[in-house]
Amino acid sequence: MKIISYNVNGVRAALNKGFIEWLISANPDVICLQEIKALKEQLDLTLFEDAGYNYHYWFSAQKKGYSGVAILCKTEPNHVEYGTGIESMDFEGRNLRVDFDGVSIMSLYLPSGTNDARLGHKLEYMSMFQAYIDQLKLEHPNLVICGDYNICHEEIDIHNPKMKGVSGFLPVEREWIGDFIASGFIDSFRFVNPELQQYSWWSYRANARANNKGWRLDYAMVSETIQEKIKRAVILSDAVHSDHCPILLELEI
């Protein structure tokens, strides 16, 4: 099973930059999208269906043009779960899950901490999300949680490790993602590539992408229960439809 996760920073903008042609070429079985910034009704869904994704699920934010996640599948999942059931987490459209035989795949878009109010919301969300996943694992032990976590875990994951006062690399955020992994997950990219320094997001400022001054904010976290099924985990940095690039995970399911 080939799974891709991609923060597209606006799916309509990505479509105008050749997203569908890229999707056909990449050919994942499942693709998790974040920051779609659109309602399902604003999209020509036949574009995705013609590309082979007849099963597509959209969970948008209540605020138009903001946040939102989606999952496109080639085969029909057994079940689709929209949100977490926790209102303060769900109004911004940040969690969507599809269940297949042997694995459940979630598209996750953690909040960013761009100011004090948003950082407070992010920290609250992170705490509630951990508690939610702790319970979810009891029913769905084989989880793949793909998405934009808006956190760099280790110094190898950021171009400038001195940025310890910036949200995304705060000690409290790094501690949380470390604890999240310790609760029963594998950072699949780091598991496969223990010393490889690659990034998945670059600021639009100061020519950051051309100079590779990036951050690794996007993860495919895999339950320890299916560790032996991890076949490949790579960052697809050649895709340029967004300020993020996609990440790819292959499982032997």
Indicate which residues carry an active-site annotation: 148
CA distances to 12, 137, 197 from 35, rounded to whole Å, are 11, 25, 25
SS3 label, residue 241? coil
CA atoms within 13 Å, Cβ hemisphere of 176 = 22
| 3-class DSSP string for 118-155 | HHHHHHHHHHHHHHHHHHHHHHCCCEEEEEECCCCCCH
CA 88 to chain centre: 19
* In the block, residue with structure tokens 């761009």: 114
* φ/ψ bin of 232: left (φ > 0), alpha (ψ from -120 to 50), beta (otherwise): beta
CA distances to 34, 214, 221 from 160, rounded to whole Å, are 25, 9, 24
CA 199 to chain centre: 14
CA atoms within 13 Å, Cβ hemisphere of 200 = 28
